[in-house]
Amino acid sequence: MEFQPQTITIKTKEGDVTFEAIVGVGTGLAYHRHHAKNGKFHKTYGVTILSTGLSVQSLIQLPTPEAAQRFIELLTEITDWNKPEEELRKLDLNELKPKAVKAYHQVLATSGVAI
């Protein structure tokens, strides 16, 4: 899988925020450092769905860029994240969330981080 830098916009409680992220080419997903309220960034990484600007799961914190890339690779096995926002919002979250959490735990286990 190829990853490239790209400017993205995420949605936060304070409004939209635009910054540089790393996009999984053709996945509909990007990873980036978690955005802090003060305009700075945390040390951990999150994954955003490009068509919605929303986090895959706001509580998921990935320790390294490599872990974020692996998480994106596993997420692409769950669904097509390139769907338009309207279609993604219709997906059954009760089905998707456990699969995303399982992928997250798999990534943490292989990256040597305690769960």
Could you read off the pLDDT of 50-108 as tens digits, one per residue?
A: 998 888 876 788 999 999 999 999 999 999 999 998 898 888 878 888 999 899 999 99
Find where tokens 């706001």 sit.
Answer: 58
Pick the range with the lowest mean pLDDT from 8-12, 25-29, 61-65, 98-102.
Answer: 8-12
**Which tokens go with 88?**
């993604």
